[in-house]
Every structure is written in structure tokens, then in C-alpha cells.
Amino acid sequence: MPRRSLLASALAAPAVVPGLGRAQSWPNRPITLVVPNPPGGGTDFAARLYQDALTRLLGVQLVIDNKPGANGNIAIQAVVRAAPDGHTLLMQYSGYHAGNPAMMKNLPWDPNRDLMPVGMADVAPHGIFVAPGLPVTSLAEFIDYAKARPGKLNYSSSGNGSIQHIAGVLFSQAIGVPMVHVPYRGAAPALQDVAGDRVEMLITTPSSAIGLAQAGKVKALAIASADRIKALPEVPTTAEAGMPGFVIDAWFAFFAPAGTPPEIVQRLNQAVREAAATPEVTRRAEEGGVILRPLSVAEMDAVARREVTALGRTIRDAGITME
């Protein structure tokens, strides 16, 4: 072919954008969202909060796969080992993402190396919930009750190294009273034993406790955040209840295996942000006491990296271990 004809053919040919074919053919089957906790806790709530909206936006079913155990590591490793093709995602919990590396030796995954941030699901302030049978009606009364019984009260958590565990240690240190940690495999069973008067306290995300609090099956003493939550408007903040500076927030976010094509990650991020803006997700987030904070991929990456550094420092300074 003459040179001019070759040039004309090249100019007429469509431009090839690297990775565009992969993005256009994705998704081509259901997407699995792996949750490192059993149904009923804050991580599971975040996954189900987005399930219907993302199914509609992506055009394929978003399937939730609860894989509790080993402080989240079973689920996290399953995602790390999955094909990086955008069809397997992780609903990550900040306590696992930043806490596990600080407390576990020879962790088989690295938060910065093995997981790719996709986007923020929600930020969850924590509430201080106590057993219904305790003779207290305020945070101040509970602190006095604990001080009269050093080392005799228990607090539950969703597992060693979870934000609930860290919050319990920090609370115990703040009031100067030793308390006994009782770890569970998830927030739901940890909360049920508080409701059953078998454990005295749990500091956890309100989403799993609002129904029990409204029914009088647990007592909500304070919200450990800067603001009250609309789902429990009568419950004061810790500052209002006489414990200023005690603020506990956690986040739940979508992650993909490292190596997932960036164009797929961007499409996922866009879908997550669009889902967060829908009336359905907004309403359910408000009812669940969580805050929607849509972030870009770069912003989510920055948040996750800061959390690994900051929470790791808090854990080491407080002497928190997996024991």
C-alpha cells in the first residue's frame, strides 16, 4: 500500500485507549462483596446499605458474602487472593485495616500493598451502650458505678483489635478503672449479651444497637462523637455527658484486590458516590446513625493510609494487644 494510503488508514482507524476494553466489558457477572463479619453489625450494615443501589447502577447483582473469623483476616485474605478483575470486593472496617497490622506479627497481607481503595461507604460514630439491668441512667452514673467495682465490669467487642476493643481500653483508661474485655465474633453477638445482662458495656456503631435502644433492651448513655445522631436524638454526646475529648469514629469502605484495573476502580467509585446520593441510601444511613462521606479514590487512599499510621500509634501507646 502507498505511504499516503497507510497514513490515511492510520488516521481513520479508531484510537485505542489502554484498558478501555476491560472497562467496557466489566461487569460481566455478579459482583461479590465480601464482609469480614457476620450479619447484624456495622460492617454488614454498610454492605447492605449499598447493595440494592449498586445492583441497579452496575447492572449486575451485588452478592454479599459474610466471612467472619480471625479478626477479619479470613475475609481480607480471600479478597487479596481473588482475581483483580473487579468482580470481588471487600467491605473493609477501619479497625481491621489499621488495627490488625499494629497488633499482629507476620500478618499475611499489607493494607497499602495488597488492597486498592475504591471508595468510602460510611463513617460511623460510636455509642456507649450498657446492659438494661444496670441501675444507671446516665454516663456519669455508669462511671461512678464502675469506679465502685474496679475490675468487676465487662465490656464486649466484635473481636480482639476491633474498634470496640480499642474504645473499651481507652474508656477504661480515661475513667481510671480496670474493666475486663470479652471478645466475640462480630458486633451482633457482642450486643446480644449486653442486652441479656451478661456483659455490662459495649461501645459500638449505633446501626446495630438503635433498635434495641429504642425498645429499651439496652441503655444508650452517650454518642462518642462531636454531634448527636438523628436516630437517637435524646442521647447526649460524650462532651455533653461530662466526658469531653472521648470521640470514637470508625469507617467502612470498599476495597478491591491490588492490581484491579484503575478504570474499573474509577467506575466502581463513581457508582458508590452515585449510590450515596440516592434518597434510599440517604434515608437508611440516617436511620442507622451513620454519616455518608463520598470520597474520590485518591481521597479514600489518603484516609486509609492516615488511619494505618494514626490508629497504629494509638494502639501502641495504649498498650493494646491481641490478648
Contact 120, 294 (CB under 8 A): yes
* The model's pTM: 0.82
**CATH number corresponding to 30-124+251-318:** 3.40.190.150
In DSSP terms, which residues pair with 35 in a beta bridge?
Answer: 66
Residue 225 clears pLDDT 80, i.e. is over it:
yes
CATH (one of 3.40.190.170, 3.40.50.720, 3.40.190.10, 3.40.630.10) for 127-223: 3.40.190.10
Nine cell digits for residue 24: 467496557
Cβ-Cβ contacts under 8 Å for 24 (sequence gap 6 or more):
none
CA 52 to chain CA centroid, Å, is 18
pLDDT band of residue 323 (cuts 50, 70, 90) is low
In DSSP terms, which residues pair with 123 in a beta bridge?
Answer: 251, 291
Domain with CATH 3.40.190.150 in the chain: 30-124+251-318
Residue 3 clears pLDDT 80, i.e. is over it:
no
- pLDDT tens for 84-137 read 999 999 999 998 999 999 988 889 999 999 999 999 999 999 999 999 999 999
What proportion of the chain, given as a percentage, has pLDDT over 90? 78
Domain with CATH 3.40.190.10 in the chain: 127-223
- Per-residue pLDDT at 110: 97
- pLDDT tens for 13-54 read 555 445 555 567 899 999 999 999 999 888 999 999 999 999
CA 120 to chain CA centroid, Å, is 9
Residue 12 clears pLDDT 80, i.e. is over it:
no
Residue 147 clears pLDDT 70, i.e. is over it:
yes
- pLDDT tens for 55-86 read 999 999 999 999 998 889 999 999 999 999 99
Q: Stretch 226-240: mean pLDDT, rounded? A: 94
- Per-residue pLDDT at 23: 63
Which amino acid is located at 252 in the chain? F
- Per-residue pLDDT at 168: 95
Distances (CA, A) of 231 to 46, 195, 234, 259: 16, 19, 9, 39
